[in-house]
Amino acid sequence: MADRADRLSDLVAEAGLDSLLVAELTNLRYISGFAGSNGACLIGPDTRTFFTDFRYTERAAEEVEGFEVEIVSGDWLAGLAGFFEGKVGFEDDHLTVRTALKLEDSASESAELIHSGGLVESLRRVKEPGEIERIATAAELTDSLYHEVMERGLTDRTEAEIGAFVVARMREVGGEPSFPPIVASGPNGASPHAEPGPRVVGKRELVTIDMGATLDGYCSDCTRTFATGMLEAMANESYEVTLAANEAGLKAVQPGAVASDVDAAARDLIEDAGYGEYFGHGLGHGVGLEVHEGPRLGARSKDVLATMEVVTVEPGIYISGFTGVRIEDLVVVGEEGIARNLSSVSKALTYID
């Protein structure tokens, strides 16, 4: 945590700020180690102050190191603003306008609030070895649940039943879903973010399952599409095209690669196969303390990949009224390409009754 705080302090100084108020809870956990529901910290070259309320006095003492801890009583925002001096950055991508105005009104005349979102997130993008191992452990749990789903079978079960089983098993082994699992069968697969519903999985159709686990604060994310019997020609072809696009996207994951170029590697293949209109979302995103974080792999993303970032590669084809396919891997960017694919479930089309 001390190293993270030092690196953030350097960014604060480079931005011409005296300090930065970190109030978004995920960013706060990353910088301070605090995992409670109310806290903030003020950090800069000469500042290391952590704020919370009476409820978290003991927790802050256990989890927060390297900061002077202040217990705020009474008006929370006024208590924070009382420590502002000079140019104080704030996370304008997380604080509401109303909260920012209240902070500004409560601060002394010698303090100036500066819009400074994204500084902590820029640090979070590149993972430490310990973070990658936590993500890998969450990915292993997700993979084990895929194998359990395959062993139980899919046909004659409702999407909701499959989704509920995944959530229950995840919690039984100490995890939590990093997002509500997606189970989309047959024509429901045409909706990329379909919610598991009452539809019963039938024979000879595709079933897309997208799920991830959270363990020790870190997330995983993986999608596989299965078949419940021999498919119509277009469904089979759409799967093979999506798989080829996934592999093309993986090959394009390189340190220094522009995210839009990585997206294009997969998207161009889908377009060349005649399915371009059926792939409408970005190729992937970063994963860490949150299941969706930077960098973003998309057609308009200017992000540049760096070693030790963790990203998804998840092309899809979604044909309204017919079917859908998505294949997603979670990978670590290495010094030359992919250092590690954290998703181990086979991507060959698997037939499950």
> Architecture of domain 2-124 in CATH?
3-Layer(aba) Sandwich (3.40)
What is the pLDDT tens value at each position of the chain, 353 positions in all? 779 999 999 999 999 999 999 999 999 999 999 999 999 999 999 999 999 999 999 999 999 999 999 999 999 999 999 999 999 999 999 999 999 999 999 999 999 999 999 999 999 999 999 999 999 999 999 999 999 999 999 999 999 999 999 999 999 999 999 999 999 999 999 999 999 999 999 999 999 999 999 999 999 999 999 999 999 999 999 999 999 999 999 999 999 999 999 999 999 999 999 999 999 999 999 999 999 999 999 999 999 999 999 999 999 999 999 999 999 999 999 999 999 999 999 999 999 98
Give the per-residue pLDDT at 215.
Answer: 96
In the chain, what are the domain boundaries? 2-124, 126-341
Contacts of 142 (CB under 8 A, 6+ apart): 211, 212, 213, 220, 221, 222, 343
Strands (E), 123-266: 176-177, 182-185, 206-211, 213-215, 218-219, 222-227
Which pairing describes strands 40-44 and 47-52: parallel, antiparallel, or unpaired? antiparallel
Give the per-residue pLDDT at 1.
Answer: 77
Contacts of 86 (CB under 8 A, 6+ apart): 17, 18, 19, 110, 111, 112
In whole angstroms, what is the distance from residue 251 CA to residue 66 CA? Answer: 41
Look at the alpha carbons of 125, 127, 131, 132 in this order and tell me if their dihedral is positive or negative: positive
Phi, psi at 138, each rounded to 5°? -65, -35
Give the per-residue pLDDT at 3.
Answer: 92
- In CATH terms, is domain 126-341 a member of 3.90.230.10? yes
Give the per-residue pLDDT at 96.
Answer: 92
In whole angstroms, what is the distance from residue 281 CA to residue 263 CA? Answer: 10
Biggest distance spanned by C-alpha atoms of the chain: 72
Name the strands in the sheet holding 213-215, side by side, starting at the edge strand that comes first in the sequence: 176-177, 213-215, 218-219
**Helix segments in 89-213, DSSP class H:** 97-106, 119-125, 129-152, 159-172
- Are both 2-124 and 126-341 of the same fold? no
Structure tokens at 3: 């190293």
The DSSP symbol for 191 reads S
The CA–CA distances, whole Å, from 228 to 186, 223, 231, 275, 346 equal 10, 16, 8, 23, 16
